[in-house]
Amino acid sequence: MQVTVDQDRCCGSGQCVSTAPAVFDQSEEDGLVRLLLPGPDRALPATVRLAAALCPGNAITVLDD
């Protein structure tokens, strides 16, 4: 699994951080998403996909390996 984020589309809602805090964080400066794990552990795919689905800006892309 490969995860990318588009900070230009991020609106800073924090849904991703609330859903998958091991993978996403928010910048203290502007509140935009920060990707902590671009290749998260295989134990997290459902959580990461849910975070992407909940993102109001559609800023998260999840690709399967």
Q: Which of 23, 53, 26 is nearest to 40 (CA)?
A: 23
Residue 33, domain extent: 2-63
- Look up the pTM and report it: 0.91
CB 42 within 8 A of CB 5: no
Total number of domains in the chain: 1
Kindly report, residue by residue over 32-60, the tens digit of the pLDDT.
999 999 998 777 899 999 999 999 999 99
Buried b (16+ CB within 10 A) or exposed e, 30-43: eebbeeeeeebeee
Residue 41, pLDDT score: 79
Q: What's the CATH number where 52 sits?
A: 3.30.70.20
